[in-house]
């Protein structure tokens, strides 16, 4: 259980945009995951995903850790944004796109800074 929580924390920390979903963005296994990943793909930035059907340990532990009972779950820069309904609402209101773009830009910038400091 501790290992699963560590894995979840590491995934969230390492990926500026991360969606926990059923299936994959190209082959979603439920309608909500399909809609959520479609909205995310429409933002035009790369994102990471975890297929909870392939990871039953994460599927069991994440709802308690996130205090969010359902999937999909979108995490941006370590913060839970929400599930399918919230994502679609934000997308339709034009709020999801800048959130995603800014998070990716910040992640690229921080990686750039890290590389510069090693030279």
Contacts of 46 (CB under 8 A, 6+ apart): 17, 104
> What's the whole-model pTM score?
0.91
pLDDT tens-place string over residues 30-58:
999 999 999 999 999 999 999 999 999 99
Structural domains of the chain, with CATH = 2-107 (3.40.30.10)
Alpha-helical (H) ranges within the chain are 2-14, 31-42, 56-66, 84-92, 96-118
Yes or no: say if 34 and 13 are a contact pair by the CB < 8 Å rule. no
3: its two tokens: 């290992």
Say yes or no to pLDDT of 115 above 80. no
pLDDT tens-place string over residues 54-91:
999 999 999 999 999 999 999 999 999 999 999 999 99
């Amino acid at each position: 259980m501790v290992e699963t929580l560590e894995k979840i924390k590491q995934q969230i920390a390492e990926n500026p945009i991360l969606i926990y979903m059923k299936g994959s963005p190209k082959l979603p296994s439920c309608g909500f995951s399909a809609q959520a990943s479609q909205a995310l793909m429409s933002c035009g930035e790369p994102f990471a995903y975890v297929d909870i059907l392939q990871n039953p340990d994460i599927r069991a532990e994440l709802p308690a850790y996130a205090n969010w009972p359902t999937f999909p779950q979108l995490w941006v820069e370590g913060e839970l944004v929400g599930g399918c309904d919230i994502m679609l609402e934000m997308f339709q209101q034009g709020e999801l796109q800048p959130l995603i773009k800014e998070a990716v830009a910040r992640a690229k910038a921080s990686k750039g800074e890290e590389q510069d400091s090693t030279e």
